[in-house]
Structure 1
């Protein structure tokens, strides 16, 4: 590989990191908003439904349609099921760590939601990284489109941690840590998957989609229903889906 080619690759990588930083900043902004506002149980439930709708839209409108373009669709379909198994493994790992630390199970749900949002950001990063390899303009559109979707996700995640009694300093550090999965995903998408067989890239997207689907129904919605309910929850859920659908359609 020539020096010019190496320089072009590094310039592209810097662009990918800059693009991935946009949704990461949106997520962090949502988390800071949750720190500044007093969040009632009903408001938290609504925000979790909104975030759940957004995540389902990411899976249904971005991840799986792309994954099913594979020449052998059964591979990403099996990977989607594997995503559910991945969620079970993550949940057990969280429970095991907390048990060894002598903590109770009250924060296991919030921590699983934190993990789910991290997985969503990771998938965002993978999409931005791979899209930028194909077309920098497409990477830019994906990055800009993710920003308004990531703000309510960050808000819901940090608000949930706040109500679980996790210390403020820890919450802020966790909000800042959301930058890590999207940057890692972008790096993987740009470097590792650019040379990988297409079927592997699509399987990774489907695996992430399966894990996110499990997080939505097993953690986000469950956690939301542990708080005072509202008749607006179905509207928040479908509204979150519609929000991401609009972003996807008009960007």
Structure 2
């Protein structure tokens, strides 16, 4: 059976743990050469070594996406070099989640969260998308969040993910006619729990069709779909992969 991303190259930000790692591993399993990006060289090596052990292709590119255009441009250039000169797929996954309430958020924290969660993917897309257009096409996948549309007391983070989802639609309008598809995934409560542990997120999934938290692999499977040819007619969507959390209420019986 042919691999769905065979011969393609991909850059995944925040790929050294959790959802980003699962996406990088899934892309490699489907034949892509993956640039695994993150801040920790040690964790990056672990991901790359694991992909190599399973017969995949991957290289680590260190990046501290602080929101500056220079940092995003440096990552785009470094990833393109190790991927043979082109990036076919970009996954804007890296992000930070502050624990602060509105009243306890200072200006430095506000600026940092917007820098990492909004400015960094904005300038990375600005650096990568034109080269995709020149090469004849590509796919960009952004990571939103279910709390961008279902309010919980996390105003700062939620607002950044709302911005990412709006950027997704705007970029689809801007780059889609030039051959670059732009879509987003909105993960639900996703966490890998240790055996025997009860994660607080389990409570948040009560009253949903799934009835339990999701795993990073569920998000990775959606990313493979949006990166591949099966979604060639899909532009500007936010794909909810959240166990029905935002769209469905299950009546308790």
Please indicate the TM-score interval, normalised by the length of the shorter structure.
under 0.3
Give the structure-2-normalised TM-score: 0.27
Higher strand share: 2
TM-score under structure 1 normalisation? 0.27
Which structure shows the higher helix fraction?
A: 1
